[in-house]
């Protein structure tokens, strides 16, 4: 599932690069910074766009309805949206909770 989620995120980031909503030079990897900290590449509006697009991608490809920006995620000291890998891990946690 990690690979599927990463692919969904990468595809959306590539689209955002085309529209100028995500500026990142180099290859996209699981370590690509997204939001927060000194290396964050997304502003808050672009982060919302990415989250919505990833949620839609999960719905389309995995047939699961998830909410990645739930109150628990937003209240964490370290945002789960820091990088591609933290977003993948967060999505896996949310999906695991919602499957039960």
H/E/C letters for each residue in the chain?
Answer: CHHHHHHHHHHHHHHHHHHCCCCCCCCCCCCCECCCCCCCCCCHHHHHHHHHHHHHHHHHHHCCCCCCCCHHHHHCCCCCCCEHHHHHHHHHHHHHHHHC
Architecture label for domain 2-99: Orthogonal Bundle (1.10)
User: What pTM was computed for the model?
Assistant: 0.91
Taking only the tens of pLDDT, the chain with its 100 residues reads 999 999 999 999 999 999 999 999 889 999 999 998 888 899 999 999 999 999 999 999 999 999 999 888 888 888 999 999 999 999 999 999 655 4
């Amino acid at each position: 599932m990690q690979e599927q989620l990463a692919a969904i995120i990468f595809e959306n980031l590539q689209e955002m690069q085309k529209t100028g909503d995500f500026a990142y030079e180099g290859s996209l990897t699981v370590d690509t910074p997204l939001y927060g900290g000194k290396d964050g590449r997304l502003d808050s509006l672009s982060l919302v766009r990415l989250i919505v697009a990833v949620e839609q991608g999960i719905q389309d490809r995995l047939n699961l309805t998830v909410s990645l920006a739930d109150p628990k995620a937003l209240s964490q000291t370290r945002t789960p949206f820091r990088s591609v890998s933290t977003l993948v891990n967060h999505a896996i946690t949310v999906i695991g909770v919602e499957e039960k």
